[in-house]
Structures are given as C-alpha cells and as structure tokens.
Structure 1
C-alpha cells in the first residue's frame, strides 16, 4: 500500500470491503465486527514510517490548509511543517542526538505541535509533562526519564530554576502563550494577565541573557528562517523506535514512563481515523481543548487532526465562556472531550443551543460518560456523543462506540480495528464467556513496548501477549464491552488519573496526621473528586483551621486537581485483620 492510499477515501473503502470478506470468518471470535459502521475496516495496515510521516504527508498534500487556529492567528500545514523543521534544527544545534529525551511541558498552544514534531524530527523522544506539575512531580519525571532539555512556559520557570540545583539539565527553552497571538492580542495579553491576577513571569531579561542554558523558543525559531536553515542530517527514526514517554501511574500508583513507539502512536491515529469514515478530509475543524500532554488529547486531538488535514482550534485551558465563543466563531465539527467539559458547556449555553450546533461528532474519553449527559448533549446539539475507552499504555484508545444508532449507552463500545480484546478470569488466566465478569485484556499494534527502565513491572502487565488493563468488565454476546469497576483505587477527576497512594504519601508528611486514606467520591461536575479521611495525632483537634492547614500543605506538594476537595476526620479507619485500610467502607458523611 502506498503512503497516500492510507488516507484516500476510495482505497479506504477497498480496505473495508476486503475486511468485510474476512469478517464472517472472524465473527465467532470477534462478534463486534458485525456492528462496525459501514466503511470501518476490521484491520488496518500500518505503514513502516515514523510518526513524523503524518505531518510530512499532510503538509505535502494540503500545504495551504489551516493547521492551527489560535485566537484568530492561523498557521497552515506548510508553515507548521517548516516551524517543526526549524525547531529540529535548533535542537540539533543545542546538541540533541537521536534517542535523547526532551521534556515538553506546554498547554494547547501552537508551540506544542511545533515542538512535538520538531523533537521527533531531531530523532529525540518526547517526554510528556503536565505544565501545572509541582516541583516534586516534575523532578520525578525529569530524573526518571533522564531528560536533557525541557520546553516550558516562562510563567513556571521558577519551579525549574529550583530543580536545576539538583538535576542536570543541559538547556531550558521557554515560551509564552502570547508569542503566536495576533498583533493586537499580543499587545493586550499582559493586561489581561494582570486583570486575571496572574503573576508575571519571574524571569528577568538579565537572567535570560546571562544564562547560556536559557533560550527563548521564538528566538530559536527565528534563527532558522526558511531561507537560511542550515543543511542538517535528520536521523532516520524507525517505526519501532520510542517516540514518547507518557507518564502514568499504570495500575500500581507508581509514576512510570509508558514507552510508546512511532508505530504505536501512528497505529492508534489510523485507528481513530478509520472509526470516522464520514469525515471529510481537509474540511473539518477539531476543537482541541483536551490537553495534548494527555495521551487522549495527543492522539484523538492533535494527531487525528493532522491525519485528517483538519484545522486544530487550540485553547490552552478549558473555560466554558471561551470555548463557547470559539465554537460560535470558528464552528468546529469535531469535539473530543471529557464528560466534565460537556456538562459545563450545557450549563453555560442554556437555551442558546445554536451556539453548539456546528459540532457533528464527539468521542468522550478519560472518564466514564454518564448516560444522562450523553442524552442531553445530543438533544441540545444534534451531535453524536459516544463513549470511548483506553489507557496510556494503549496510545491510548482501544474501544469506542460506533458513531451511529448502534451506539449503546453505558458501554465503552467495540474494540478498534486491529485491537483484540477479551475478558479474562483473573484466577485461571483463561477467557470467560459472554456476559461473565473478569479483567479486560487487550493487544494490538497500539499497545506500548513497556515501562521505561522498569523490566519487572513491564513483565507483570503482560500475559501471553495480552496486556492487563486492571479494569473489571464484561462483554455481551454482540461484542460490546462494559467497565464494571475501574482499576483498583484509581480516582478519575475531570479526566485526570489520581492515585490515592500519591495523595496519602503527602498527607502522612503533615505533622498532625496519624493515619490517612484517600478515595474517590462521586462528583456531578468532575465525575469524581478526592476525599481524604484523616485520623489526627493525640493533642490535635479536628478544627476548621487545621483542615485549611492540611489543604494548604497539599497544595504545596500536589497539582491542584489532586488536592483533596473533601476532608473528614475520624477516630479510626476501617481495616482488615492484617491492618490494610478498607477503602470501600469509607463513606463521606457530608460534602465539603
């Protein structure tokens, strides 16, 4: 199959026809194939290309098409490809070599896709990092990955300044959300920051000029303007080379780097593309507010937009007012999001349903989609909103509901083309019958190579070629999968994974706390929120003051979404005979 045929509609239909021929033979083992939308193939041929082929291919076929829309500023695919090349050249000038790790800590601004593809074109590995991480969280990822360079917002440089005292970083590249704004907004940006009481970047021009390891991304890009890019040899990345380290707690709560290869990420992007057979290549606009540093936003947002030659409507953070304004102005047709986003938009829009009627398809991920939210959003917008499922270790999507009337509320849907899935009896290690409960197991071309520098944990997550998801579920006779219970103890708040042990480790550091347990409790907006149950040491009383002290203490150690929103004091915590806390018996008596 030629490169161009992978995105050619006619040849995609041919693939589908070939797949349909073989579907009958597979139907006894893969009952889900019967429910695929017309035009969705059973299997996908993955080309032997690095992930950068996505951008190369689209830029060559649609050079003048808009790639990014950022508060009115537009970047074409030809320009995006050129900027990525410039950044790759700049990284090589800074000494980046094939296989080096480069941390990327940015929100959804144009600098993200530029840096992401620039890093890959330079032959390096992208270390995905949440720009809102605390010093402790960031230090762990940088030291564990061995990242030599970090690309980040200037506002948060003080965190890295402290880290540099204990961690060897070769270079720090800073940028600002205003760098790609239209001229007028660029001038007004500092004023809006002051009005929003956002502190100015604690980085002086003096420090920037005197530190040879500090660089402005904009300066690096301008150094390599189109006519003066020095000829440089880009290393030829192989499809099985690692492209991204996506940090996750996996199923154990220990932050680990998921090794995703170029092939893994390319496969999942092609799978997402195949799941949307009615999409008009080169004519769609994707609302990209789900963060790219999250595996879901990376694949279903950024990379899927590129393979579709769609315009990425970039928003660096979710604010319902800003999102509605952007939808009203730019009329996006696709909106990959998380349930809390759909809830917030419905609350904000009210009866002005026309504000959202440009949206055609939404795949909801990162958290369970409440049936009522699905129904109300579809009724309000006329769009199709379906639930999907995945995990970082799978690049990340493995299942999704069809974007047709075959969609089933409460189900995570059908396995993607090329993905094998089964329900396994945890005790016997054998598959169970339809309708029986067990652990969801998956395998396919999008499944990770393992955990970075963690051989034992990599071995533990695989079983005879299948990967454990840690989620308990079932499959019905027609091949639809259902999650009954998420990975043990995992809390999903606003689409982000939170591991109780991480929260508890911080709580135990507080001098007044004797025992602590963190659990997830239902939350109408976030899906779940963190509740902490605390036993105080003798001499300490459960007052409002100490509650506020504990919350303030947590804010110093944890990202904001991990900080407990509910605190309850107890005389003791329920435990097993061997002393293990029984989380399932912890119930919130009142909301905070």
Structure 2
C-alpha cells in the first residue's frame, strides 16, 4: 500500500510515464529519490507538521517531493504554475513554509516571491538547474527510509470566490505511512483500482483531485500516465496507446471530446477502459448521457471538495435511474439545512452539509473555519441542493453563484447546462451582473463554435432556445460573446473574474 513496498516487489515497474515524451520513472527510482529528499528535509530541521511549498509542473518531480513529504509527516502545499508573485508570496507566508521547491520554468517567480516573503529560514530549491538544484543538494544522502517516518498530508489552497486563497488543512494521519487511506478504499471498492491499473491523469497535479488520485494509484502499485495539458484527441490516443484502464476527467473534458468530429472519435480503441471518474463541476445531463452511450456504463461520478469533509458517489447504472444526481454518501452523512439552521424534509432545497466526516480547518483563519461548520458540527462546501427519498443528492448550484433578480432566485448552473448542449456553443458562463432596477440581471457569456458569428442574430437564436426550454424568468436578458472563457487548467470556470469585470464596468460612469 505504498511506493516503498512496490520498490522492493516490482522495482523496475513504471510508477509514472510522461505522455509527451514517454519517459519513465520506475518505482525503484521514485522511492530512492523520495528517500533522499526526505533525508534532506530532516537535515534542514523540518519536523512533523511543517510545510513544504512546491511550484512544479506535470512531471516526475512533483511525485518525488510529494512522496518525500508523505514519509516525513509534512504538509505539501502545491501552488498553481500560473500563480502571481503576490499570491505565491502570500501562500508562502500564510502556510509558514520551511522550503519552496520550484521547477526550472518557474524559478524567476519563485526568486521574486522569496525576496518579498517574510518567512524566516525559508529554503529555496530549484528541482533542476537554478540557484540551488534540489537533486544536487541530495547527492550522497541515504536512499533508504528515514529513521522516524511519519505520514504526511497535503494542505492545498482553494482559489476562493473573494479575497485571498484559503489553505485547507486536514489533520495529519496517525499510524504507519503505508496504512490504507479512505481514498484508497474508495478507489478499490468503487472503481476497481489496483496494481494492474494504468491511470490517465488529465489535469494539473497542483490541484487536489488530480494529485490525490495519482498518488492513490501509486500506493496501489499501478502506473500513472501524466498529460502535461489536456487535449481532447490526445487523450483518446493515449487511452489506446497505453491501454488505459482508469482515468479522471472534468465535465469540460467530456464536452470537448464529444465535440470532436465523428470520424476522429471513432478512430481510437477505448476498449481497455474499466472505470472513468469525473468530478469538480456539475455535468449536464445530456453530456453524461452521451458519454455513457459512447463509452458504456463505466462512467462514475463523485462530489466532494478540497476539504474532503464528505463524499457522495454513484455509478452509471445508478445515475441512469437518478439522472442529475451526484450520488449517495460514501464518506460522512448528507444533511440539507434550511435558513433557520435546521434540517429540512426530504425533497426540500437547502444548504448541503456533511455530518460525521473528517475534520479540517482553514489555516490561520479561525473565522472562515467557524463559518464552514454549523452549531451541530456539520461542515459545508457552500453548495445548494436536495436529497430524494433514496438518499441521492442533487446539487442546485454554488451558493455564491445564485442570481437574485427582482427578488427571484435564479441558479445559473441549470441555464449553463442547457446552453452547452447547443451545437454552436463551445463554452458558456452564466452570471449575475449588477442592475439598477432588478438588483441583478442574468447574463450569458458565450464562446461560439469556430465559424459561428457572435451577433444579434445568434443572440436571438440562443434566447429562444433557453426560453422554450426553461421559460422567460430563467432566460438571460443579455448575451455577450468571447473568443475564450477564463478557465483553470482543470477546466473549472473562473466565474469570479467575469463577475468582477461586470461589477467594475457597472461602477464606471
């Protein structure tokens, strides 16, 4: 249940393959390098509970450092490769990082952040090249396990809707470093992951789900195939080339694959796939139906967050009976809470909470931590939803995305899920823009398909499309067109940037 065990039993087996170059890192190589880095951390004085920040791309290096921290009892804070100097400086200071490890491509940002950070005794390493190469600093250090191994964890920073990112800090695991984790149990029992798994990682490894699932596969002795960045056709090619058995995607990836030409989609042999998992954002019902029709009933979904205070999950067969659901609880218990703080009856919409799940805190922010829990000790990810008679959860939208127009609550997710199914829409975001009369007006920001002109005629076509399906109240009053929408590399839509843009425009005379 750990790479150090596989380094003995199957030393030459690939732990990771880089999709772009087909370079391989074996379990033996991964374990020895992770042990050397762990010895370096101890030599620098890092002890259980300390934090290491990394600014690393989708390469072998992030696994080496992650497994080093995992066996030292350290928190790993992986920072977005697209971060600004200001945000990196904030995260270094807020996390109390004792070391920062940056990839060669990000060394300039790291150097500038180091100069501005107020943390004392912070060590900066470049993984390869740069001022202090990490591997050079590890030369001559033992390739065996440190004398005081201790299970570590990640402390990742959420992007947040407003203000600075929040560091999500779980409790460090107790017990041996090779003990089974809840995510391992989920991977094995729900998705059949194991030592024969060939897993396609499609998203940036500085995000919670991609990093955690890749490490689960390596705990189990499988092989991780890492894409540097997502490309719809390349993902199909890699599935065929490596005979991929497991993969994780976000709904945006599904949309992009489905919009490939039929002759391209039919070109690749995908028969090796055993389980495909999606999360991170709601998947429109027609999109998921189309994926199940294409790939068969191997599509799985789960709902959780970086906080992992609870998880719901369901497979294709359950979803076909409960289309639109994100499943039943597999970690914690789902509770739907009304405005008075009390649990509401089945079928009633309210704030989604989890009871009896793992505890977490927002690092150095007791007020935000307090706001995440209610007086019963239940935790929320700030989503709105309801539960049916069989305990299946349905999400309505993010609480912070809800539009209030003329006193009416409008949930943009439903409108987005419809518009993305239009054949001439490549991408879409629906937001509430300030309106002097109505408070907010519903605005659809649309990326048209290549070759489609975003003009008044197309606006009217989309307006009729929404009105016919959802009625007049939910129909956007305004359609704006963009060549591209702001999305994180995982595919998550950065609505906060769009909302901030419209709010700034409203404030201008």
Q: TM-score, normalised by structure 1?
A: 0.64
**1:565 CA drift (Å):** 6.3
**1:390 CA drift (Å):** 0.9
Give yes or no for the alignment of 1:269 onto 2:183: yes
The equivalent residue for 2:285 is 371
The equivalent residue for 1:189 is none
**1:487 CA drift (Å):** 2.8
CA contact (8 A) 2:157 2:166 kept: yes
- Counterpart CA distance in 2 for 1:332 and 1:79 is 23
The equivalent residue for 2:165 is 255
**1:322 aligned to 226, 234, 247, which one?**
234
- Secondary structure (helix, strand or coil) at the match of 1:259 reads strand
- Counterpart CA distance in 1 for 2:371 and 2:180 is 25
- Secondary structure (helix, strand or coil) at the match of 2:307 reads helix
Give yes or no for the alignment of 1:336 onto 2:259: no
**1:137 CA drift (Å):** 1.7
Give yes or no for the alignment of 1:353 onto 2:254: no
- Counterpart CA distance in 2 for 1:162 and 1:571 is 32
What CA deviation, in whole Å up to 9, does each residue of 1:221-279 have, x standing for no partner? 5x14xxx62777443436xxx622111256875421111234399643134224426x2
What CA deviation, in whole Å up to 9, does each residue of 1:341-379 have, x standing for no partner? 122223336333352443232221111111121122222
- Counterpart CA distance in 1 for 2:89 and 2:388 is 44
- Counterpart CA distance in 2 for 1:314 and 1:321 is 15
Give yes or no for the alignment of 1:528 onto 2:429: yes
The equivalent residue for 1:461 is 372
What CA deviation, in whole Å up to 9, does each residue of 1:108-140 have, x standing for no partner? 211111110112223322112111111122122
After TM superposition, list the pairs within 5 Å mapping 1:303-322 onto structure 2. 303-322=215-234
The equivalent residue for 2:466 is none
**1:401 aligned to 296, 305, 314, which one?**
314
**2:133 aligned to 201, 210, 216, which one?**
216
The equivalent residue for 2:456 is none
**1:478 CA drift (Å):** 0.8
- Counterpart CA distance in 2 for 1:570 and 1:115 is 41
The equivalent residue for 1:171 is 123
**1:85 CA drift (Å):** 0.9
The equivalent residue for 2:211 is 298
CA contact (8 A) 2:35 2:143 kept: no
The equivalent residue for 1:246 is 156
Q: 1:82 to 1:90 in 2, by over 3 A?
A: same
- Counterpart CA distance in 2 for 1:456 and 1:252 is 15
Give yes or no for the alignment of 1:145 onto 2:95: yes
Task: Provide the alpha-carbon RMSD of the alignment.
Answer: 3.7
Give yes or no for the alignment of 1:68 onto 2:16: yes
What CA deviation, in whole Å up to 9, does each residue of 1:169-224 have, x standing for no partner? 63222236xxxxxxxxxxxxxxxxxxxxxxxxxxxx7xx4xxxxx32234345x14
The equivalent residue for 1:106 is 56
Give yes or no for the alignment of 1:118 onto 2:30: no
- Secondary structure (helix, strand or coil) at the match of 1:263 reads coil
- Secondary structure (helix, strand or coil) at the match of 2:369 reads helix
RCO (CA 8 Å, sep 6+): is it higher in 1 or 2?
1
Q: 1:133 to 1:425 in 2, by over 3 A?
A: same
- Counterpart CA distance in 2 for 1:215 and 1:294 is 26
- Counterpart CA distance in 2 for 1:235 and 1:569 is 53
Q: 1:482 to 1:123 in 2, by over 3 A?
A: same
The equivalent residue for 1:286 is 199
CA contact (8 A) 2:35 2:146 kept: no
- Counterpart CA distance in 1 for 2:160 and 2:275 is 29
CA contact (8 A) 1:87 1:115 kept: yes
The count of residues paired between Structure 1 and Structure 2 equals 427
- Secondary structure (helix, strand or coil) at the match of 1:215 reads coil
- Counterpart CA distance in 1 for 2:288 and 2:343 is 31
CA contact (8 A) 1:339 1:527 kept: no
What CA deviation, in whole Å up to 9, does each residue of 1:275-327 have, x standing for no partner? 426x262212111122222112122x213312432210111211234333322
The runs of 5 or more residues in structure 1 that have no matched partner are 1-52, 177-204, 209-213, 492-518, 536-550, 574-592
Give yes or no for the alignment of 1:384 onto 2:298: yes
- Secondary structure (helix, strand or coil) at the match of 2:155 reads strand
The equivalent residue for 2:108 is 158
- Counterpart CA distance in 2 for 1:261 and 1:100 is 13
Q: 1:110 to 1:96 in 2, by over 3 A?
A: same
- Counterpart CA distance in 2 for 1:139 and 1:218 is 24
Give yes or no for the alignment of 1:449 onto 2:401: no
- Counterpart CA distance in 2 for 1:394 and 1:348 is 34
Q: TM-score, normalised by structure 2?
A: 0.73
- Secondary structure (helix, strand or coil) at the match of 2:58 reads coil
- Counterpart CA distance in 1 for 2:432 and 2:344 is 35
- Secondary structure (helix, strand or coil) at the match of 1:393 reads coil
**2:38 aligned to 88, 92, 100, which one?**
88
- Counterpart CA distance in 2 for 1:123 and 1:117 is 10
The equivalent residue for 1:190 is none
- Counterpart CA distance in 1 for 2:345 and 2:433 is 39
The equivalent residue for 1:489 is 401
